Amino acid sequence: MSDELKINVEGVGELAVDEDGFIEDPGKWSEAVAKHLAGTEGVTELSEDHWKLVNYLRNYYMEFNIAPMIRKLCKETGFNLKKVYELFPSGPAKGACKVAGLPKPTGCV
């Protein structure tokens, strides 16, 4: 088997992540995990706006088993693209989806 990559989240314990740093089991996500993952993406504090975005992604994924279109994310949160990148400088897929515990979208990304 591959050398398993893990993160150690305070109060939660060890969680397996993939080579891109996304958690392997989206079911193990929690707010504490989100805070830890945000740190790996250079987001040191999660504001109310961060949570709004993360929770939207999370709920959409739990319902549809896929990440939403960026259009839907902007429409439902009321944030424009610029604001999304301000909140998550590494972008909606590599940044926000990771923090929300989604798998990385497949495709040329």
Partner 1 sequence: MLANRREVADPGIDNALKKLTPEKIEAVVRKVFNPKVSARLKVYLDTCVHCGLCSNACHTYNSRDKDPRYSPVGKVKQTIWEIIKKDYKVDAGFIKLAARIAFVECNACRRCSMYCPFGIDIAFFMMTIRRICHLLGVVPQYLQDTVNSHSTTMNQMWVQQDDWIDALQWQEDDANMEVAGARIPLEVEGADFMYSVIAPEPKILAQLLANMSIIATKAGLNWTMPATDGWDNSNMAMYSGDFETMARVEKLHWETALRLKVKKVVMGECGHAFRGAVYDGPKWLSWRKTPIPMVHAIEFYYDLLKSGKIKVAKKFAEPVTVQDPCNVVRGRGLGKKLRYIMNALCADFRDVEPRMEHNYCCAAGGGVINCGAPWKRDRVEGNKVKAEQIKQTGADVIVTPCHNCHSGIEDIIGFYKLKVHVKFISEIMVEVMEK
DSSP 29: -
Closest CA to 67 of 53, 46, 50, 52: 53
6 binding partner 1? (CB under 8 A): no
For residue 8, the one-letter residue type is N
Contacts of 17 (CB under 8 A, 6+ apart): 5, 6, 7, 23, 24
Closest to partner 1 by CB, 48 or 71: 71
71 binding partner 1? (CB under 8 A): yes
- Total residues at interface with partner 1 (CB under 8 A): 25
92 binding partner 1? (CB under 8 A): yes
**Which of 19, 45, 48, 63 contacts partner 1 by CB under 8 A?**
19
63 binding partner 1? (CB under 8 A): no
